[in-house]
Chain A
């Protein structure tokens, strides 16, 4: 058979097959895929009429929608929770939380939230009344509605269950402190380690007396609602008693007016207790200003002009700590500092002779007074610290093995 005849034999059936397949392929493309818009619009075919509906995205509805009374609140609120559909952020979903009095009632919009949110607390409601919720997922004109929740009713609670761990810790802590206080009352000896900074208080006051110079006591810059200030006033009482006994010149400049009023009473009572009320003068405890740096300027100026023999910087300090401590150091004063502000401790350590670090500040009044009852509280505090250290060690080990039980037990909300 010649070559041309052979081609003719095969080409005719091939052409017939292709002619049969092409219309089928074209039809399939119209049904399964979207025709190009320009073709669809221009052609005026049924595809053009379907185009707007086929481009609008139908958003997925949220799942697992629940509504319940907000736990641990004082009432008047319901918390609505849901699970976001997959890819909510990519779709640019927004959620509209709708509220009604019953599942079939008239729903009104409560709030609108962006994708990424899966919880909403609806506040300002009436306790005892029932509320139902729906969440609408919205993308442009597309809206999907969730099924309504079961009715939820807000009510006030009597205890914040999520703070139960804090309460347990508080009870353990208070229990151990009160146990050791009771033990101390029965006359059991209590050992407390030496704190160099507190041992130096007598020496510092004595030095000022010998030199005939002033003792400057700076009780921090915070108000009396700061526990460090209260601890500082307790030490001030001891320093003032010693000053009264030695007839040393004490001055307490204050930044906060409430601290000023308390410090004055503390010093007055200390002089009275020491049997030297005649030595107390009102100007010993004075008010300077409420501004942090104006106060610093005044006190550093006093240090430079009057060159006190001893400076006590005890309480809550911030940026002024180094300014005060360095100026005191430059005038040659013996300096005893104490704070629980971690960021300021390095400055005090560098510029002062003795520094009470963190808990030493709070232990000072017990240490100085040597009252068994107060020392007992320090012992109780140490017991809690030991328990916390054990929990910390256990937590580290368990966390290393992927068990988060201890960490979760200490999570505070």
Chain B
């Protein structure tokens, strides 16, 4: 029973969207859309579970003085402050969570604009440095393949900047050719393979052969 019920539910939940793709009957589409709504509701409850887990984990970390415990204090403080202003804003205390009608920021919005967004931007900006270090490692001409990669990368980089076009018009032309022909062909090959793999995986899940994601061990 512990195995059969989840597998039956998986089968139904997997088959309904497939049927809805081919059968435009009103009841089928209603069931399919309702399932999507249920997913959002379930995700909402799961998020609550996640928040409880964050509080438990970090409280324990502070109590045990585990490695990096001061960060746990910052995290819990951030959660408490943003959570308080968010909840209060939802009940229209402090003027809501977005900007007020006069254009001034509510506390939640102010924190979002002045703390959260800059931090998020900082993380994203790090990508440029990581990309440089990864490129340095990848573009070392150690063998024939790496040399081809290096040459292709240099052409594409020069073709994408005004300086490259200034040197010769062939840089942007060759860049376009590399991106539209060999690069696109390789990408589509991977995408077709991945698409078939995903469909095969979905089929295994729907018919109950693949059940390791349920924690039910190997397939049968």
Q: Say whether B213 contacts A233, CB under 8 Å.
A: yes
Please tell me if A179 contacts chain B, counting CB pairs below 8 Å.
no
In Å, the complex CA distance between A289 and B74 comes to 14
B residues within 8 A CB of A109?
A: none
Stretch at the interface among B83-91, B127-135, B160-168, B169-177: B127-135
User: Which residue of chain A lies nearest to B47 when distances are taken between CB atoms in the complex?
Assistant: A257
How far is it, in angstroms, between the C-alpha of A178 and the C-alpha of B206 when the chains are bound? 12
Q: Does A305 lie at the interface of the complex (its beta carbon under 8 Å from any beta carbon of B)?
A: yes
The answer to whether B197 touches A323 (Cβ under 8 A) is: no
Write the nearest CB–CB distance from A276 to chain B, whole angstroms.
14
Q: Does B217 contact A (CB under 8 A)?
A: yes
**Interface residues of A, CB < 8 Å — how many?**
90
Partner of A378, one of B57, B137, B200, B207: B200
CA distance A73 to B24 in the complex (A): 5
Please report the C-alpha to C-alpha distance between residue A177 and residue B202 in the assembled complex, in whole angstroms: 12
Query: Does A173 interact with chain B (Cβ within 8 Å)?
Result: yes
Nearest Cβ on chain A to B189's Cβ, whole angstroms: 9
Total A-B contacts with CB atoms under 8 angstroms apart: 211
Distance, CA A325 to CA B126, complexed state (A): 13
Contacts of B51 in A (CB 8 A): 287
In A272-326, the 8 Å CB interface with B consists of: 273, 283, 286-291, 293-294, 296-297, 301-302, 305-306, 319, 322-323, 325-326
A:373-398 near B, CB below 8 Å: 373-374, 377-378, 380-381, 384-385, 388
Within 8 A of A (CB), among B30-70: 39, 42-43, 46-51, 53-54, 57, 60, 67-68
Taking a contact as CB atoms under 8 Å apart, the answer to whether A177 and B203 are in contact is yes
Does the CB pair B134–A260 fall under 8 Å? no
Indicate whether B209 reaches chain A with its CB closer than 8 angstroms. Answer: yes
A365 touching B210 by the CB < 8 A rule? yes
Q: Report whether B215 and A269 are in contact in the complex, using a CB–CB cutoff of 8 Å.
A: yes
CA distance A411 to B69 in the complex (A): 56
Distance in Å from the Cβ of B39 to the closest Cβ of chain A? 6
- Evaluate contact between A268 and B215: CB separation under 8 angstroms: yes
> Is A270 close to B, CB under 8 A?
yes
Contact A266 B215 (CB under 8 A): yes
B29 and A293 within 8 A (CB): no
What's the least CB distance linking A120 to chain B, in Å? 19
B131 to A322, Cβ gap below 8 A? yes
Is A160 at the interface (CB under 8 A from chain B)? yes
* B191–A342 touching, CB < 8 Å: yes
Interface contact B215-A265, CB-CB below 8 Å? yes
Chain B contacts of A289 at CB under 8 A? 54
Tell me the chain B residues, 176-212 only, with Cβ under 8 Å from chain A.
187, 190-194, 196-205, 207, 209-210, 212
Whether A82 sits at the interface, judged by CB under 8 Å, is: no
Residue of A nearest to B131 (CB): A322
B26 at the binding interface (Cβ < 8 Å):
yes
- Name the A residues within 8 Å of B57 (CB-CB): 283, 286-287
The reply to whether B138 and A350 contact each other, CB–CB distance below 8 Å, is: yes
Contacts of B144 in A (CB 8 A): none
The docked-state distance in angstroms from the alpha carbon of A287 to that of B43 is 13
**Residue numbers in B under 8 Å from A73 (CB-CB):** 24
Does B120 sit at the interface, judged by CB under 8 A? yes
Complex contact B191–A358 (CB within 8 A) = yes
Contacts of B135 in A (CB 8 A): 350
Complex Cα distance, B43 from A170, in Å, reads 30
A357 interfacial contact with B, CB 8 Å: yes
A347 is an interface residue with CB less than 8 A from chain B: yes
Docked complex Cα distance between A219 and B34 (Å) = 27
Residues of chain B within 8 A of A325, CB atoms compared: 134
Q: Enumerate chain A residues within 8 angstroms of B47, measured Cβ to Cβ.
A: 257, 290
Instruction: Evaluate contact between A166 and B203: CB separation under 8 angstroms.
Output: no
The interface bits of chain A over 228-245 (1 if a CB of B lies within 8 angstroms of the residue's CB, else 0) are 101101100110000000
Contact B219 A374 (CB under 8 A): yes
A349 to B145, CA, bound (A): 13
Q: A304 vs B135: C-alpha distance in the bound complex, in angstroms?
A: 21
With a cutoff of 8 Å between Cβ atoms, the chain A residues found around residue B9 in the complex are none
B216 at the interface (CB under 8 A from A): yes
Question: When A73-B24, A223-B43 are in contact, do A286 and B120 touch as well, CB less than 8 Å?
Answer: no
A350-B134, A358-B197, A361-B197 known; A257-B219 Cβ under 8 A: no
- From residue A398, how far is it (CB to closest CB) to chain B in Å? 18
B214 within 8 A of partner (CB): yes
* A342-B131 in contact (CB<8A): no
Looking at the assembled complex, report how far the CB atom of A377 sits from the nearest CB atom of chain B, in whole angstroms: 5
Q: In the bound complex, how far is the Cα of B126 from the Cα of A258, in angstroms?
A: 28
- For residues 1 through 39 of chain B, which have their beta carbon under 8 Å from a beta carbon of chain A? 18, 21-26, 29, 39
